[in-house]
Structure 1
């Protein structure tokens, strides 16, 4: 262990003293569940992802938020979304909302330190004004869509949404989005000047609904009877092929050996659309483990120890400072919640993080979970934990706690805690009970008291959700049928 730690320190010092900074590829798979990749579930075909994970460092106790905009906020700012008013559901296309402009984003920090910065795929951090959009927030280029989800082929979501930098890109409707992002990745790598380090944020729409994928991928899963599960598995394999193309392009360019690849989901799998987190409890939109504990890993020759797992506690907010340290950049951003895990991951030593706040949301409709915190091995949930309460195997169709409710985020149902939902209190020991079967709330009052004190401390920094009503000025019909910034 001492040797590994010395190697880590030496590697960081060499970067700080002016050695070549690593390229960083940050890959997000949308709605990918705990049980949705080959290295956790051999029924899923993902050889490239499995290779990167198994020859890198798998993050075994890694958490994100229960929905996508909050997690992406955490990735980009190193700040819990409940402290920015972005913890409630997601940013809607028609809302006057984006990540606060006074918060520096990760690509801005990297760009200031010599990185070429590029993004492909899903933004979902607000776009009502141009200053909110990727090329105004640190990215040299952007190829993708501003909203939270759309048709993978037509790029329509009650309006057209696909951009090449700031320009509307009608050519985006000509192919499957995952193919297009792989093409752009290859283009950027081929054209990259290796004199500068590269940061590429690849935010795939897969495996987010609608369930669409070329037929050749569904043909790989003839044994799966559940149609959504078949399509989701096929969509994973399509992403895996794109990642294989990335690996090849990095090697052909001669920069693979100086590239750190990071892979993460943005929340747990959405069980209504084929996602699966078994044996973890719950799914996307809940603060049970299935909605928040996700697959993630790092891969790269600069890692001091490769293979195996890092079992220290880690959260999405940690990526900002971790990447900064890996790049030898002094992170001076004030008041972040993130902690650099770089040395701990390389040494497999104890993580700095001992606590994770799953969510704090006291809005009238916290479908994605009201309040939960983990301290050490214990997890406390207070209030409604979210829509998905059970343990869902991948081959079954489920009716969820709200019956046949379709979660249309533009037309939310009128529901009230205490009338439509029970108020829950849970205490779990996640070391002994990672699948959250045994509620200890009434058995360990001293632990509950300690945990409630931690939760109260977190509440002192709580910012009420910024979740305004739809603004009619956003209507894409005002802009030729295209979702367009500039109306707020």
Structure 2
């Protein structure tokens, strides 16, 4: 009888051991998203702003130097959480405004849903900006076990209010239990870091952790505690000085979170991703030099993102990765790292890039649709009548080549205040108001000084063909009119669902 039991006992033991090993192989995953953080605003890109914590994490990990996000807030967040292009979620145009009955569609799971399904504890702190007009769009109903932050796209850093279209200010700060009325005066850069650290300290290490920390920093309004601004008294431009102080709060916060993970004993089994959501806004102190353009533009300064991967579970360090990676790639990459399933999702536009990040393998991506926005005001006349309409605002990357159509917004090169203004140029739109096609070899010309559209008409037609095929898969734009029922005055002066 003993001989019969021995194989069964061995099988049970082996299953338990393999189960433990399998669990250990699933790292904690921390995703930190900065808001409106410029390409030239991190130390290792030569910035005048000090970012020692971010620089150290990046140098200990993998810097992503051919990494792309979207030009504005909602689109980047929607692609991060869904793994799908804007043209496939209906969020091609602008952002989700607080008064709009709109949100990231419910027809596909979020990254948090998939992490939870894989057995992860899932938590979010910070800016949501993916819709809240119905309860089912709220973050704690979209895969997160807990949430603390704000639902709209912008708020005051200290009193945590934002205006309705009547010009009055209303509270936008909550968790899954209701509004947070007692945090007035608590600067959000500090508040969100402290809430993230609370999540880490309360975490049960028997489960893997997924945390999405979406800082308000460094989006306008330009507000920062005085000690941080005083660090940059040598910067004469007031906006740049305040912005630099806000970056220092962000850098300090990421450093404090990293230390909390180490103190909890989680760091050695953690992968941390840092990303911006779009380029810096030059009118509000941000800077993307030497890239062309800024936030909301289709130039590289609008969406060539700051990004890196770090953490104790990363098998490499000191690497600069120049493979093409997009924000939509995080969905399959991180769910795959968590040993989760992609079943139940609509077709993804992101691809799993873990081998590229961790082993230096070639990127699985050679084509990247930046966007097609049919609602943006059109420019000029179509270049051709048998392919994509060049009056429509759009951009696509195929290999080394990037094509822009329509109105890409201002394309100036803007150095940081105080540096050589001889380096500033103006967009060609000032001299060619009807122009609606640009072609660049981004590998050879990352700063977009040399438009090749006239020299390479065959390449223009080839890339227009890509845009045409993408456009044939697009769903209608979701951009409803403002709903007066969204007025927070109807719900105790707090932003929240109204349907």
CA contact (8 A) 1:282 1:390 kept: yes
How far apart, in 1, do the equivalents of 2:102 and 2:425 lie?
30
What's the CA shift string for 1:193-237, capped at 9, x where partnerless?
A: 000001110000000000001111011111111111111111110
Deviation at 1:17, TM superposition (A): 4.3
Deviation at 1:363, TM superposition (A): 0.3
Corresponding residue for residue 390 of structure 1: 412
Q: Does 1:45 align with 2:65?
A: no
Instruction: Say if 1:327 and 1:14 are closer, same or farther in 2 by CA, change over 3 A.
Output: farther
CA contact (8 A) 1:15 1:21 kept: no
Corresponding residue for residue 54 of structure 1: 59
Corresponding residue for residue 84 of structure 2: 79
Deviation at 1:461, TM superposition (A): 1.2
CA contact (8 A) 2:376 2:393 kept: no
| From 325, 333, 348, the counterpart of 2:360 | 348
Gaps of 5+ in 1: 1-12, 403-416
Q: Does 1:70 align with 2:75?
A: yes
Q: Secondary structure of 1:374's partner? A: strand
What's the CA shift string for 1:254-296, capped at 9, x where partnerless?
A: 1110011000000000111011000000000101000010100
What's the CA shift string for 1:96-151, capped at 9, x where partnerless?
A: 10001112000110011111111111000000011001000011111110000100
Q: Does 1:291 align with 2:291?
A: no
Corresponding residue for residue 99 of structure 2: 94
Corresponding residue for residue 217 of structure 1: 228
Corresponding residue for residue 19 of structure 1: 24
CA contact (8 A) 2:118 2:338 kept: no
How far apart, in 2, do the equivalents of 1:46 and 1:389 lie?
27
Q: Does 1:464 align with 2:476?
A: yes
Instruction: Say if 1:23 and 1:257 are closer, same or farther in 2 by CA, change over 3 A.
Output: same
Deviation at 1:421, TM superposition (A): 6.2
Q: Does 1:279 align with 2:290?
A: yes
TM norm structure 2: 0.88
Deviation at 1:365, TM superposition (A): 3.7
Deviation at 1:475, TM superposition (A): 0.7
Deviation at 1:300, TM superposition (A): 1.8
Deviation at 1:54, TM superposition (A): 0.9
Deviation at 1:394, TM superposition (A): 1.2
Corresponding residue for residue 373 of structure 2: 361
Deviation at 1:361, TM superposition (A): 0.2
Corresponding residue for residue 153 of structure 1: 158
How far apart, in 2, do the equivalents of 1:241 and 1:444 lie?
47
Q: Does 1:176 align with 2:199?
A: no
CA contact (8 A) 1:258 1:302 kept: yes
How far apart, in 2, do the equivalents of 1:130 and 1:142 lie?
14
Deviation at 1:305, TM superposition (A): 2.0
What's the CA shift string for 1:160-204, capped at 9, x where partnerless?
A: 100022401111223101111111111111111000001110000
| From 184, 189, 206, the counterpart of 1:195 | 206
Q: How many residues align?
A: 457
| From 261, 271, 288, the counterpart of 1:250 | 261
How far apart, in 1, do the equivalents of 2:19 and 2:334 lie?
16
Corresponding residue for residue 474 of structure 1: 486
What's the CA shift string for 1:375-417, capped at 9, x where partnerless?
A: 000000111012x210011106999999xxxxxxxxxxxxxx9
CA contact (8 A) 2:413 2:425 kept: no
Instruction: Say if 1:255 and 1:366 are closer, same or farther in 2 by CA, change over 3 A.
Output: farther
Corresponding residue for residue 235 of structure 1: 246
Q: Does 1:372 align with 2:384?
A: no
TM norm structure 1: 0.90
Corresponding residue for residue 446 of structure 1: 458
CA contact (8 A) 1:314 1:341 kept: yes
How far apart, in 2, do the equivalents of 1:268 and 1:400 lie?
18
Gaps of 5+ in 2: 1-17, 164-169, 380-391
Structure possessing the higher radius of gyration over alpha carbons: 2
RMSD of equivalent CA atoms: 2.2
Corresponding residue for residue 303 of structure 1: 314
Corresponding residue for residue 9 of structure 1: none
Deviation at 1:38, TM superposition (A): 1.0
Deviation at 1:423, TM superposition (A): 4.3
What's the CA shift string for 1:31-75, capped at 9, x where partnerless?
A: 001001111124111111111111100101100111000000000
Corresponding residue for residue 138 of structure 2: 133
CA contact (8 A) 1:34 1:278 kept: yes
Q: Secondary structure of 1:172's partner? A: coil
Deviation at 1:16, TM superposition (A): 8.8
Q: Secondary structure of 2:147's partner? A: strand
Displaced runs of 4+ in structure 1, greater than 3 A? Answer: 13-20, 364-367, 396-402, 420-423
How far apart, in 1, do the equivalents of 2:89 and 2:254 lie?
33
Deviation at 1:457, TM superposition (A): 1.0
Q: Secondary structure of 2:258's partner? A: helix
